[in-house]
Structure 1
Protein backbone atom coordinates (compact mmCIF):
# COMPACT_ATOMS: atom_id res chain seq x y z
CA UNK A 1 0.00 0.00 0.00
CA UNK A 2 1.37 3.37 -1.00
CA UNK A 3 0.45 6.38 1.07
CA UNK A 4 1.40 10.02 1.04
CA UNK A 5 0.82 11.63 4.43
CA UNK A 6 2.28 15.08 4.92
CA UNK A 7 2.33 17.45 7.92
CA UNK A 8 -0.01 20.40 7.77
CA UNK A 9 1.34 23.56 6.25
CA UNK A 10 -0.97 26.57 5.97
CA UNK A 11 -2.06 26.74 2.35
CA UNK A 12 -0.20 29.20 0.21
CA UNK A 13 -2.95 29.43 -2.40
CA UNK A 14 -4.75 32.70 -1.93
CA UNK A 15 -2.48 34.00 0.85
CA UNK A 16 -1.59 37.04 -1.19
CA UNK A 17 -5.31 37.75 -1.52
CA UNK A 18 -5.71 37.62 2.25
CA UNK A 19 -3.07 40.22 3.14
CA UNK A 20 -4.26 42.78 5.73
CA UNK A 21 -4.48 45.67 3.30
CA UNK A 22 -7.56 47.89 3.24
CA UNK A 23 -9.36 47.79 -0.10
CA UNK A 24 -10.80 51.21 0.76
CA UNK A 25 -11.32 53.41 3.76
CA UNK A 26 -14.43 51.39 4.67
CA UNK A 27 -13.32 47.83 3.81
CA UNK A 28 -11.06 45.94 6.20
CA UNK A 29 -9.46 42.62 5.29
CA UNK A 30 -9.23 40.25 8.25
CA UNK A 31 -6.04 38.19 7.84
CA UNK A 32 -5.96 34.52 8.85
CA UNK A 33 -3.54 33.33 11.54
CA UNK A 34 -0.05 32.34 10.48
CA UNK A 35 1.03 28.83 9.48
CA UNK A 36 0.38 26.14 12.04
CA UNK A 37 2.29 22.88 12.16
CA UNK A 38 0.26 19.81 12.99
CA UNK A 39 2.16 16.58 13.67
CA UNK A 40 0.81 13.44 12.03
CA UNK A 41 -0.21 10.67 14.43
CA UNK A 42 1.01 7.09 13.86
CA UNK A 43 -0.57 5.39 10.83
CA UNK A 44 -3.85 3.51 11.20
CA UNK A 45 -4.76 0.58 9.05
CA UNK A 46 -7.47 1.42 6.55
CA UNK A 47 -7.44 5.10 7.48
CA UNK A 48 -6.03 8.25 5.89
CA UNK A 49 -5.10 11.40 7.79
CA UNK A 50 -6.67 14.66 6.60
CA UNK A 51 -4.75 17.64 8.03
CA UNK A 52 -6.37 20.49 9.89
CA UNK A 53 -7.04 23.96 8.56
CA UNK A 54 -8.23 27.43 9.55
CA UNK A 55 -11.94 28.11 9.09
CA UNK A 56 -14.15 31.16 9.71
CA UNK A 57 -16.59 30.51 12.55
CA UNK A 58 -18.72 33.00 14.50
CA UNK A 59 -16.74 36.02 13.36
CA UNK A 60 -13.26 34.59 13.99
CA UNK A 61 -10.73 32.16 12.56
CA UNK A 62 -10.92 28.80 14.34
CA UNK A 63 -8.57 25.85 13.93
CA UNK A 64 -10.28 22.71 12.64
CA UNK A 65 -8.04 19.81 13.79
CA UNK A 66 -7.00 17.04 11.44
CA UNK A 67 -9.04 13.85 11.38
CA UNK A 68 -8.74 10.23 10.32
CA UNK A 69 -11.06 9.18 7.49
CA UNK A 70 -11.68 5.67 6.15
CA UNK A 71 -9.88 4.69 2.97
CA UNK A 72 -12.27 3.74 0.20
CA UNK A 73 -10.81 1.14 -2.18
CA UNK A 74 -12.20 1.02 -5.69
CA UNK A 75 -13.55 -2.43 -6.67
CA UNK A 76 -10.98 -4.42 -8.60
CA UNK A 77 -8.04 -2.28 -7.45
CA UNK A 78 -4.78 -4.17 -6.91
CA UNK A 79 -3.56 -1.86 -4.13
CA UNK A 80 -4.63 1.18 -2.17
CA UNK A 81 -3.30 4.45 -3.44
CA UNK A 82 -4.14 7.25 -1.06
CA UNK A 83 -3.47 10.82 -2.09
CA UNK A 84 -4.49 13.24 0.63
CA UNK A 85 -6.01 16.44 -0.75
CA UNK A 86 -4.55 19.65 0.66
CA UNK A 87 -6.66 21.43 3.27
CA UNK A 88 -8.87 24.24 2.00
CA UNK A 89 -7.27 27.69 1.94
CA UNK A 90 -8.57 30.15 4.53
CA UNK A 91 -11.48 32.24 3.30
CA UNK A 92 -11.03 35.89 2.43
CA UNK A 93 -12.89 37.97 5.02
CA UNK A 94 -13.81 41.58 4.28
CA UNK A 95 -15.60 43.73 6.84
CA UNK A 96 -17.64 46.72 5.78
CA UNK A 97 -18.91 49.21 8.31
CA UNK A 98 -22.71 49.17 8.35
CA UNK A 99 -22.66 52.81 9.49
CA UNK A 100 -20.69 53.71 6.37
CA UNK A 101 -22.85 51.59 4.06
CA UNK A 102 -26.29 52.70 5.28
CA UNK A 103 -27.93 55.71 6.92
CA UNK A 104 -29.24 55.13 10.44
CA UNK A 105 -32.05 52.54 10.63
CA UNK A 106 -31.96 51.81 6.88
CA UNK A 107 -31.20 48.54 5.14
CA UNK A 108 -32.51 48.44 1.58
CA UNK A 109 -30.52 48.48 -1.66
CA UNK A 110 -31.72 52.00 -2.42
CA UNK A 111 -30.35 53.14 0.95
CA UNK A 112 -26.72 52.13 0.34
CA UNK A 113 -24.47 55.18 0.14
CA UNK A 114 -22.60 55.81 -3.15
CA UNK A 115 -19.24 55.07 -1.53
CA UNK A 116 -20.66 51.77 -0.27
CA UNK A 117 -21.81 50.85 -3.77
CA UNK A 118 -18.29 51.60 -5.01
CA UNK A 119 -16.73 49.35 -2.35
CA UNK A 120 -19.09 46.46 -3.14
CA UNK A 121 -18.48 46.94 -6.87
CA UNK A 122 -14.74 46.63 -6.26
CA UNK A 123 -15.27 43.36 -4.39
CA UNK A 124 -17.56 42.10 -7.16
CA UNK A 125 -14.91 42.90 -9.78
CA UNK A 126 -12.41 40.74 -7.93
CA UNK A 127 -14.91 37.91 -7.65
CA UNK A 128 -15.60 38.04 -11.38
CA UNK A 129 -11.89 37.96 -12.14
CA UNK A 130 -10.97 34.80 -10.22
CA UNK A 131 -12.54 31.41 -9.51
CA UNK A 132 -14.10 30.89 -6.09
CA UNK A 133 -16.37 28.43 -4.33
CA UNK A 134 -19.05 30.58 -2.75
CA UNK A 135 -19.60 33.82 -0.85
CA UNK A 136 -21.35 34.35 2.47
CA UNK A 137 -22.72 37.83 3.22
CA UNK A 138 -23.30 38.24 6.95
CA UNK A 139 -25.13 41.22 8.41
CA UNK A 140 -24.62 42.31 12.03
CA UNK A 141 -26.00 44.92 14.41
CA UNK A 142 -24.91 46.03 17.87
CA UNK A 143 -26.65 44.73 21.00
CA UNK A 144 -28.89 47.77 21.46
CA UNK A 145 -32.58 47.23 20.68
CA UNK A 146 -34.67 44.07 20.60
CA UNK A 147 -33.56 40.84 19.00
CA UNK A 148 -36.54 40.85 16.63
CA UNK A 149 -35.68 44.33 15.39
CA UNK A 150 -31.96 43.61 15.04
CA UNK A 151 -32.36 40.28 13.24
CA UNK A 152 -34.67 41.91 10.70
CA UNK A 153 -32.34 44.87 10.12
CA UNK A 154 -29.25 42.67 9.81
CA UNK A 155 -31.00 40.38 7.30
CA UNK A 156 -32.18 43.34 5.21
CA UNK A 157 -28.66 44.71 5.07
CA UNK A 158 -27.14 41.35 4.16
CA UNK A 159 -29.76 40.93 1.43
CA UNK A 160 -29.05 44.43 0.12
CA UNK A 161 -25.32 43.78 -0.19
CA UNK A 162 -26.05 40.46 -1.89
CA UNK A 163 -28.34 42.24 -4.35
CA UNK A 164 -25.60 44.70 -5.29
CA UNK A 165 -23.11 41.86 -5.81
CA UNK A 166 -25.62 40.22 -8.15
CA UNK A 167 -26.19 43.51 -9.97
CA UNK A 168 -22.40 43.67 -10.42
CA UNK A 169 -22.30 40.27 -12.12
CA UNK A 170 -21.61 37.81 -9.30
CA UNK A 171 -23.71 34.63 -9.79
CA UNK A 172 -26.67 34.63 -7.40
CA UNK A 173 -26.39 30.87 -6.78
CA UNK A 174 -22.93 31.39 -5.30
CA UNK A 175 -24.03 33.94 -2.68
CA UNK A 176 -25.67 33.23 0.69
CA UNK A 177 -26.97 36.12 2.80
CA UNK A 178 -27.73 35.83 6.51
CA UNK A 179 -28.65 38.30 9.22
CA UNK A 180 -27.07 37.51 12.58
CA UNK A 181 -28.22 40.48 14.69
CA UNK A 182 -25.75 41.09 17.54
CA UNK A 183 -24.00 37.70 17.43
CA UNK A 184 -20.20 37.46 17.25
CA UNK A 185 -19.33 40.95 18.60
CA UNK A 186 -15.98 42.38 17.62
CA UNK A 187 -15.87 44.59 20.73
CA UNK A 188 -17.60 44.44 24.12
CA UNK A 189 -18.45 47.78 25.72
CA UNK A 190 -19.57 47.81 29.36
CA UNK A 191 -18.48 51.20 30.66
CA UNK A 192 -19.84 54.03 28.51
CA UNK A 193 -23.50 54.96 28.10
CA UNK A 194 -25.56 56.97 25.65
CA UNK A 195 -23.73 58.33 22.64
CA UNK A 196 -20.42 57.05 23.99
CA UNK A 197 -21.79 53.50 24.07
CA UNK A 198 -23.12 53.81 20.51
CA UNK A 199 -19.67 54.95 19.33
CA UNK A 200 -17.94 52.17 21.25
CA UNK A 201 -20.17 49.52 19.66
CA UNK A 202 -19.60 50.81 16.12
CA UNK A 203 -17.27 47.93 15.02
CA UNK A 204 -20.06 45.45 15.76
CA UNK A 205 -22.37 47.13 13.24
CA UNK A 206 -20.94 45.58 10.10
CA UNK A 207 -21.44 43.43 7.04
CA UNK A 208 -18.93 40.64 6.41
CA UNK A 209 -18.28 39.31 2.92
CA UNK A 210 -16.61 35.92 3.35
CA UNK A 211 -15.22 34.40 0.14
CA UNK A 212 -14.41 30.68 0.14
CA UNK A 213 -11.86 29.96 -2.57
CA UNK A 214 -13.24 26.45 -2.94
CA UNK A 215 -16.25 24.56 -1.60
Structure 2
Protein backbone atom coordinates (compact mmCIF):
# COMPACT_ATOMS: atom_id res chain seq x y z
CA UNK A 1 0.00 0.00 0.00
CA UNK A 2 1.44 3.33 -1.07
CA UNK A 3 1.72 6.22 1.36
CA UNK A 4 -0.54 9.08 0.40
CA UNK A 5 1.29 12.38 0.01
CA UNK A 6 -0.71 15.49 0.55
CA UNK A 7 0.01 18.41 -1.77
CA UNK A 8 2.29 21.04 -0.29
CA UNK A 9 0.40 24.21 0.68
CA UNK A 10 0.98 27.17 -1.57
CA UNK A 11 2.90 30.21 -0.37
CA UNK A 12 -0.34 32.17 -0.03
CA UNK A 13 -1.89 29.38 2.03
CA UNK A 14 1.14 29.25 4.32
CA UNK A 15 0.94 33.01 4.86
CA UNK A 16 -2.77 32.75 5.65
CA UNK A 17 -2.16 29.94 8.14
CA UNK A 18 0.58 31.98 9.82
CA UNK A 19 -1.74 34.99 10.12
CA UNK A 20 -4.50 32.83 11.60
CA UNK A 21 -2.07 31.30 14.10
CA UNK A 22 -0.79 34.72 15.13
CA UNK A 23 -4.35 36.00 15.52
CA UNK A 24 -5.27 33.02 17.69
CA UNK A 25 -2.18 33.56 19.85
CA UNK A 26 -3.01 37.25 20.23
CA UNK A 27 -6.57 36.41 21.23
CA UNK A 28 -5.32 33.88 23.78
CA UNK A 29 -3.01 36.50 25.27
CA UNK A 30 -5.73 39.17 25.28
CA UNK A 31 -6.52 40.16 28.82
CA UNK A 32 -10.11 40.06 29.97
CA UNK A 33 -11.31 42.66 32.44
CA UNK A 34 -13.32 41.14 35.26
CA UNK A 35 -15.50 43.87 36.79
CA UNK A 36 -16.26 43.13 40.43
CA UNK A 37 -18.93 45.34 42.00
CA UNK A 38 -19.73 45.38 45.72
CA UNK A 39 -22.75 43.54 47.13
CA UNK A 40 -25.77 45.56 48.29
CA UNK A 41 -25.15 47.73 51.32
CA UNK A 42 -26.08 46.30 54.70
CA UNK A 43 -28.44 48.66 56.49
CA UNK A 44 -27.95 48.93 60.23
CA UNK A 45 -29.92 51.49 62.23
CA UNK A 46 -27.59 54.04 63.87
CA UNK A 47 -27.20 53.44 67.61
CA UNK A 48 -28.14 55.93 70.28
CA UNK A 49 -25.76 58.94 70.11
CA UNK A 50 -22.88 59.08 72.55
CA UNK A 51 -21.20 62.17 73.88
CA UNK A 52 -17.87 62.89 72.20
CA UNK A 53 -18.35 60.12 69.61
CA UNK A 54 -19.63 59.99 66.05
CA UNK A 55 -21.02 56.92 64.33
CA UNK A 56 -19.33 55.78 61.13
CA UNK A 57 -21.69 53.62 59.03
CA UNK A 58 -20.45 50.29 57.71
CA UNK A 59 -19.22 49.93 54.15
CA UNK A 60 -17.82 47.36 51.73
CA UNK A 61 -14.02 47.31 51.64
CA UNK A 62 -11.70 45.29 49.38
CA UNK A 63 -9.36 42.94 51.21
CA UNK A 64 -7.77 39.55 50.55
CA UNK A 65 -8.93 39.53 46.95
CA UNK A 66 -12.62 40.03 47.74
CA UNK A 67 -15.21 42.33 49.26
CA UNK A 68 -15.33 42.46 53.05
CA UNK A 69 -18.03 44.20 55.05
CA UNK A 70 -16.50 46.69 57.48
CA UNK A 71 -19.04 47.13 60.30
CA UNK A 72 -20.08 50.52 61.57
CA UNK A 73 -18.11 51.85 64.52
CA UNK A 74 -17.73 54.79 66.84
CA UNK A 75 -15.09 57.45 66.17
CA UNK A 76 -13.90 59.94 68.75
CA UNK A 77 -14.63 63.54 67.81
CA UNK A 78 -11.65 65.73 68.63
CA UNK A 79 -11.27 69.51 68.69
CA UNK A 80 -10.89 69.60 64.91
CA UNK A 81 -14.07 67.61 64.32
CA UNK A 82 -14.79 64.14 63.08
CA UNK A 83 -12.38 62.65 60.56
CA UNK A 84 -13.98 61.91 57.20
CA UNK A 85 -15.02 58.30 56.70
CA UNK A 86 -13.04 56.23 54.22
CA UNK A 87 -14.62 56.15 50.77
CA UNK A 88 -16.33 52.90 49.84
CA UNK A 89 -15.03 50.74 47.03
CA UNK A 90 -17.16 51.39 43.94
CA UNK A 91 -15.75 48.60 41.79
CA UNK A 92 -12.67 46.50 41.16
CA UNK A 93 -11.28 45.80 37.69
CA UNK A 94 -9.25 42.58 37.71
CA UNK A 95 -6.84 41.75 34.88
CA UNK A 96 -4.71 38.65 34.37
CA UNK A 97 -1.00 39.44 34.64
CA UNK A 98 -0.29 36.56 32.23
CA UNK A 99 -2.28 38.40 29.55
CA UNK A 100 -0.72 41.77 30.41
CA UNK A 101 2.96 40.83 30.55
CA UNK A 102 5.36 38.36 29.03
CA UNK A 103 6.93 35.94 31.51
CA UNK A 104 9.05 37.66 34.16
CA UNK A 105 8.45 41.11 32.67
CA UNK A 106 7.05 44.07 34.51
CA UNK A 107 7.70 47.45 32.86
CA UNK A 108 5.33 49.52 30.73
CA UNK A 109 7.12 48.74 27.42
CA UNK A 110 6.71 45.02 28.22
CA UNK A 111 2.90 45.14 28.29
CA UNK A 112 1.47 42.96 25.53
CA UNK A 113 -0.77 44.48 22.82
CA UNK A 114 -3.87 42.75 24.17
CA UNK A 115 -3.08 44.03 27.64
CA UNK A 116 -2.64 47.58 26.35
CA UNK A 117 -6.06 47.38 24.73
CA UNK A 118 -7.66 46.22 27.97
CA UNK A 119 -5.95 48.95 30.01
CA UNK A 120 -7.17 51.52 27.47
CA UNK A 121 -10.68 50.10 27.87
CA UNK A 122 -10.38 50.31 31.66
CA UNK A 123 -9.20 53.93 31.38
CA UNK A 124 -12.19 54.76 29.18
CA UNK A 125 -14.54 53.25 31.76
CA UNK A 126 -12.94 55.28 34.53
CA UNK A 127 -12.90 58.55 32.59
CA UNK A 128 -16.67 58.30 32.25
CA UNK A 129 -17.16 57.71 35.98
CA UNK A 130 -16.57 59.71 39.14
CA UNK A 131 -14.12 58.44 41.72
CA UNK A 132 -12.10 59.79 44.63
CA UNK A 133 -8.98 57.73 43.99
CA UNK A 134 -7.68 54.54 42.42
CA UNK A 135 -5.30 51.95 43.80
CA UNK A 136 -3.51 49.68 41.32
CA UNK A 137 -2.45 46.48 43.10
CA UNK A 138 0.01 44.06 41.55
CA UNK A 139 0.10 40.40 42.59
CA UNK A 140 2.19 37.32 41.82
CA UNK A 141 1.74 33.66 42.60
CA UNK A 142 3.57 32.02 45.52
CA UNK A 143 6.34 30.49 43.40
CA UNK A 144 9.73 32.20 43.71
CA UNK A 145 11.26 34.20 46.53
CA UNK A 146 9.05 36.64 48.46
CA UNK A 147 11.44 39.53 47.84
CA UNK A 148 11.55 39.00 44.10
CA UNK A 149 7.80 38.55 43.87
CA UNK A 150 7.22 41.77 45.79
CA UNK A 151 9.49 43.75 43.46
CA UNK A 152 7.88 42.22 40.35
CA UNK A 153 4.39 43.03 41.62
CA UNK A 154 5.43 46.63 42.32
CA UNK A 155 6.87 47.03 38.83
CA UNK A 156 3.73 45.66 37.23
CA UNK A 157 1.44 47.91 39.28
CA UNK A 158 3.57 50.94 38.36
CA UNK A 159 3.48 49.94 34.68
CA UNK A 160 -0.32 49.71 34.65
CA UNK A 161 -0.57 53.07 36.43
CA UNK A 162 1.72 54.63 33.81
CA UNK A 163 -0.60 53.48 31.02
CA UNK A 164 -3.71 54.67 32.85
CA UNK A 165 -2.10 58.10 33.21
CA UNK A 166 -1.08 58.06 29.54
CA UNK A 167 -4.73 57.35 28.73
CA UNK A 168 -5.89 60.49 30.51
CA UNK A 169 -6.40 59.62 34.18
CA UNK A 170 -4.94 61.96 36.85
CA UNK A 171 -1.65 60.66 38.23
CA UNK A 172 -2.18 62.33 41.62
CA UNK A 173 -5.28 60.22 42.25
CA UNK A 174 -3.71 56.86 41.43
CA UNK A 175 -1.54 54.85 43.82
CA UNK A 176 0.44 51.82 42.64
CA UNK A 177 1.30 49.15 45.20
CA UNK A 178 2.81 45.68 45.01
CA UNK A 179 1.41 42.89 47.17
CA UNK A 180 3.64 40.03 46.02
CA UNK A 181 1.97 36.68 46.69
CA UNK A 182 -0.45 38.08 49.29
CA UNK A 183 -4.21 37.62 49.04
CA UNK A 184 -4.24 34.49 46.83
CA UNK A 185 -7.53 33.69 45.12
CA UNK A 186 -6.60 30.15 44.00
CA UNK A 187 -6.62 26.92 46.00
CA UNK A 188 -3.78 24.75 44.72
CA UNK A 189 -1.97 21.98 46.55
CA UNK A 190 1.82 21.77 46.41
CA UNK A 191 1.60 18.10 45.43
CA UNK A 192 0.60 19.04 41.88
CA UNK A 193 3.22 18.57 39.15
CA UNK A 194 4.95 21.89 38.57
CA UNK A 195 3.37 22.62 35.14
CA UNK A 196 -0.07 21.87 36.60
CA UNK A 197 0.70 23.99 39.66
CA UNK A 198 1.73 26.94 37.48
CA UNK A 199 -1.54 26.66 35.57
CA UNK A 200 -3.56 26.31 38.78
CA UNK A 201 -1.94 29.44 40.27
CA UNK A 202 -2.75 31.55 37.21
CA UNK A 203 -5.60 33.50 38.91
CA UNK A 204 -3.13 34.72 41.57
CA UNK A 205 -0.99 36.43 38.91
CA UNK A 206 -3.14 39.49 38.47
CA UNK A 207 -3.45 43.26 38.62
CA UNK A 208 -6.42 44.79 40.41
CA UNK A 209 -7.61 48.33 39.78
CA UNK A 210 -9.48 49.23 42.97
CA UNK A 211 -11.78 52.21 42.39
CA UNK A 212 -12.92 54.21 45.42
CA UNK A 213 -16.22 56.04 45.15
CA UNK A 214 -16.56 59.80 45.08
CA UNK A 215 -18.75 60.66 48.06
CA UNK A 216 -19.67 63.99 46.49
CA UNK A 217 -21.13 62.31 43.40
CA UNK A 218 -24.86 62.19 42.93
Question: Under TM normalisation by the shorter chain, which class is it?
Answer: 0.7 to 0.9
| Residue in structure 1 matched with residue 138 of structure 2 by the alignment | 139
1:58 equivalent in alignment to 2:58: no
| Residue in structure 1 matched with residue 198 of structure 2 by the alignment | 198
Residue ranges of structure 2 left out of the alignment (5+ in a row): 1-29
Contact 2:58 2:69 in 1 (8 A): yes
Contact 1:51 1:87 in 2 (8 A): no
| Residue in structure 2 matched with residue 93 of structure 1 by the alignment | 92
| Residue in structure 2 matched with residue 115 of structure 1 by the alignment | 114
Distance 1:93 1:149, change over 3 A: same
Task: Provide the TM-score with structure 1 as the length reference.
Answer: 0.76
Post-superposition CA distance 1:133-172 (Å, at most 9, x none):
1110110000000012111111111111011011111111
In terms of Rg, which structure is larger? 2
Answer 1 or 2: which has greater helix percent: 2
Distance 1:112 1:42, change over 3 A: same
Deviation at 1:25, TM superposition (A): 5.9
Residue ranges of structure 1 left out of the alignment (5+ in a row): 1-23, 75-84
Post-superposition CA distance 1:174-211 (Å, at most 9, x none):
11101111000001211412100000000000000011
| Residue in structure 1 matched with residue 11 of structure 2 by the alignment | none
Contact 2:185 2:204 in 1 (8 A): yes
Task: Provide the TM-score with structure 2 as the length reference.
Answer: 0.75
Structure 2 residue matching 1:133: 3-state secondary structure: strand
| Residue in structure 1 matched with residue 33 of structure 2 by the alignment | 27
Task: Count the aligned residue pairs.
Answer: 183
